Amino acid sequence: MFFRNDSNGSAIATTYSWYSGSSIIDTDIVFWDAAFTFFSGTAGCSGGFYIEDVVAHEFGHALGLGHSADSTATMYASASYCSQSFRVLASDDIAGIEAIYPAVATTPPTAPSELAVTVSTDNPASAVDIAWTDGSTDEDRFLIERALAGEAWAQVASVGANVTAYADQGLQSGTNYSYRVRAENSAGFSGYAGPASATTQSPVPPATPSSPTPATGATGVSIDIDPSWVSAGVRSYDVYFGTSAAPARYASGLTAARLVLPTLSAGTTYFWRVTATNEAGSSTGPTWSFTTKAAKPRGKK
Ligand SMILES: [Zn+2]
């Protein structure tokens, strides 16, 4: 800042800023000493301006503020002779500078609490739901850490301020996972919530095949029947079928709960059973039977 024995139109002082991109990297403040008389303090001004008030306005420019439309603001574009109002910032000036220079935390956030880890309802064998209570108002994010029994903690995710839940997916089935969560801001880390843990569900074998069509013991069944059944959690089926009461394997690796058969013999009892398989094992239903419709005697109508 300097006094210059010159004038610049109606300007009392002028702030010149040099930029790199949108950032001010240097400023110079010039007081136009040939055009105006400058005073200091709170008394004695006559037909001029107090330097305290002019410099407060110019320093606002140096920090990046433009002019305010609020006539009570320090950053209002014009000043009255000998005014002492600019040296005290108005709420508009403070709001402007806080918008350009947001508050920075000086202490780490308070720790979150009440960590809860539960197995996912939708994907119980491969995901867990993590929830906690936010303990702070000044966190920038929450960090989620995970560990297997006896192994080191590792951060697996971060979520934004005020988020209080995270779903950890892609986990191994039948495995116990521990979690802990902490908050972070520019001043550092909070303490942890937790640890808490949950065990993903072990895979279970498929449901035992049931509800055969035709029903077991049925008679008068069409020779064009394709038997079907019901199960759940299945990857594939093997079907045993034949006229023996202990039928041999007839088809394997079926993915639909239906056995497509050629035309059967009339008036014949067939036996069948179904084994359902997935990665956890197999389930075999009971042996079912049905009897096809008898052939019509020849020569009669
Ligand atoms: Zn100005």
pTM of the model: 0.51
The percent of residues in the chain predicted with pLDDT above 70, rounded, is 99
- Could you say which of 100, 124, 139 is where a domain stops? 100
- Minimum mean pLDDT range among 95-109, 122-136, 137-151: 95-109
How far apart are the CA of 150 and the centre of ligand 1, in A? Answer: 64
Compute the distance from residue 17 Cα to the ligand 1 centre, in Å: 12
Q: Are residues 191 and 272 in the same domain?
A: no
Look at residue 76 in the predicted model and tell me its pLDDT: 97
- Give pLDDT, residue 299: 62
Are 65 and 92 in contact by the 8 Å Cβ rule? The answer is no
Residue 102 has a pLDDT of 82
Give the 3-state secondary structure of 31-95. Answer: EECCCCCEECCCCCCCCCEEHHHHHHHHHHHHCCCCCECCCCCCCECCCCCCCCCCCCCCHHHHH
How many angstroms does the Cα of residue 68 sit away from the middle of ligand 1?
A: 9
* Ligand 1 centroid to residue 103 C-alpha, Å: 25
pLDDT exceeds 70 at position 195: yes
pLDDT score of 67: 97
CA of 66 to the centre of ligand 1 (A): 7
User: Distance between CA atoms of 253 and 235, rounded to whole angstroms?
Assistant: 9
Number of domains in the chain: 3
Whether 208 has a pLDDT exceeding 90, the answer reads yes
Residue 183 lies in a domain: yes
Confirm whether 225 is domain-assigned.
Answer: yes
Residue 44 alpha carbon to ligand 1 centre in Å:
24
Of the residues 100, 127, 147, which one is the last residue of a structural domain? Answer: 100
Between the CA of 24 and the centroid of ligand 1 the distance, in Å, is 16
Please say whether the beta carbons of 120 and 166 come within 8 A: no
Last residue of one domain, picked from the residues 73, 100, 127: 100
Q: Is the pLDDT of residue 301 over 70?
A: no
39 shares its domain with 87: yes
State the amino acid at position 126 in one-letter form. S
Quickly list DSSP for 136-204: -SS-SEEEEEEEETTS--EEEEEEETT--EEEE-SPPTT-EEEEEEEEEETTEEEEEEEEEEEEPPPP-
Mean pLDDT, rounded, for 172-188: 95
Summary mean pLDDT of the chain: 94
Range of the domain at 85: 2-100
Give the confidence band of 300 by pLDDT, cuts at 50, 70, 90. low
Cα 104 to ligand 1 centroid, rounded to whole Å = 28
| 248 in a structural domain | yes
Which has the higher per-residue pLDDT, 19 or 104? 19
* Pick from 251, 240, 119, 104: nearest CA to 174: 119
Residue 39 shares a structural domain with residue 69: yes
* pLDDT at residue 147 is higher than 60: yes
Rounded to the nearest angstrom, the distance between the alpha carbon of 151 and the centre of ligand 1 is 62
**Residue reference for tokens 């402007």:** 96
Q: What CATH number is attached to the domain comprising 86?
A: 3.40.390.10
Return d(Cα 95, Cα 251) in angstroms, integer: 77
Q: Please spell the DSSP secondary structure of 230-259, one letter per residue.
A: E-SS-SEEEEEEESSSSPPEEEEEE-SSB-
pLDDT at 114 > cutoff 60: yes
β-pairing, 23-32 vs 2-4, is parallel
Between the CA of 144 and the centroid of ligand 1 the distance, in Å, is 48
Same domain, 19 and 76: yes
The 10s digit of each residue's pLDDT in 262-294 is 999 999 999 999 999 988 889 999 999 999 999
CA 41–ligand 1 middle distance (angstroms): 21
For residue 78, how far is its CA from the centre of ligand 1 (angstroms)? Answer: 7
What is the reported pLDDT for 217? 96
Q: What is the pLDDT of residues 49-67, one digit of tens each?
A: 999 999 999 999 999 999 9
What amino acid is encoded at 128 in this protein? V
Residue 25 lies in a domain: yes
Q: Is residue 300 part of a domain?
A: no
Question: Looking at this protein, which amino acid is placed at residue 279?
Answer: E
CA of 166 to the centre of ligand 1 (A): 49
Residue 108 belongs to some domain of the structure: no
CATH code of residue 227? 2.60.40.10
Taking alpha carbons only, the member of 278, 197, 195, 194 closest to residue 236 is: 278
User: Is there a domain that residue 205 lies in?
Assistant: no
Note whether 120 and 61 are same-domain residues.
no
How far apart are the CA of 64 and the centre of ligand 1, in A?
A: 11
Q: What are the φ and ψ backbone dihedral angles of 290, each rounded to 5 degrees? A: -155, 160
